[in-house]
Amino acid sequence: MSSLLPKIPKLTKLPKLPSWAQVIQALRRHRKALLEAGVWLVIIAVVFFVPQTRLTANRLIYVLSNRKPPAWVSLPKGAKIDVDSTERYKRQELAEFNAKMTGVGRDVLTALGLKRPLVTVTLKPSLYGWPKVRQDLQAAGNTFVEFWGVSILTYQGQTYIMGIVGATSTPINMSDNVLRWQKDIEASAQKYHVEAALVAAVIETESGGDPDALSPVGAIGLMQLMPGTAASLGVNPYDPAQNIDGGTHYLEVQLQHFGSLEGALAAYNAGPGEVASGNWVKLPETLNYVQKVPMLQEKYERIWAQHAAADAQRAKAREQAMAKHN
């Protein structure tokens, strides 16, 4: 009769749990990352979620744009905060921060196995799982610092971007659809050794500087990245800064692969396969693209050169004024 009973499997040995010493050792190894993440979570919670301290986005932007500079920042006599420009800048930075935090949430779900990546691709270890969570959280934190600390000021007819520690830089034209992304364009251009003027020309051609641009085939953002391309590059295409980074990186890859600007632009527009096969010369859109972008590049090269010359003149004038004062 016992042979008719189901055979009860033997209990397998449970995995050994880590000791408290091992847990503490692991926490110590990652204490810097945990502390950094904890600080940002507390700041974000206090500003956006705790009822007693929460501010609406509009109210927060108003408060930050109308505050006086910190005590450690001394402004030149006659310099004034441009409240309207500061508000526009902070709205842009807050939109970038929200996009980056959305990406962080998606990264966490992916790392936990609760959400699939955008596409099935092989990514570098640093661009997937928890390393990507940390990378994107740090990027979101940097954007939040800029949102919180940066102000726009005017001095002697010029516009300056003032950081939280008082350092200033001169933007080219913050009201221009493309040049308002100057900071991100220059950062990506320097990172991938691509001319900033070329990146700006591609942005103007692809999206006209609209970070929310979406093509009928699904290309996203300023540099019109396809979801699969963005995923393979490890960027969030809905975040303008990451979109520019990914687009510049992809452009640099095509420049290296095809060895010419014409080939790289044709690959960016029609795809590397069309260039490899030579079929791109039969595509009117691509033929127009490889002619239009270099012309726009020349325009932006002139703009950047004029800006650099004006910056040099202002620096010389400041040095002469300081020499007279001393």
Q: Tell me which residues are annotated as active site.
A: 206
185 in Cβ contact with 200 (< 8 Å):
yes
Nearest to 136 by CA among 158, 155, 109: 109
Amino acid letter, 298: E
197 in Cβ contact with 297 (< 8 Å):
yes
Spatial separation of the C-alpha atoms in residues 75 and 98, rounded to whole Å = 31
Q: Quick one: how many helices (H) and strands (E) in the chain? A: 12, 4
- The H or E element spanning position 76 is none
Would you call 194 helix, strand, or coil by DSSP?
coil
| Rg (the chain; Cα; Å) | 25
DSSP string covering 210-268? -TT-B-TT--BTTTTB-HHHHHHHT--TTSHHHHHHHHHHHHHHHHHHH-SHHHHHHHH
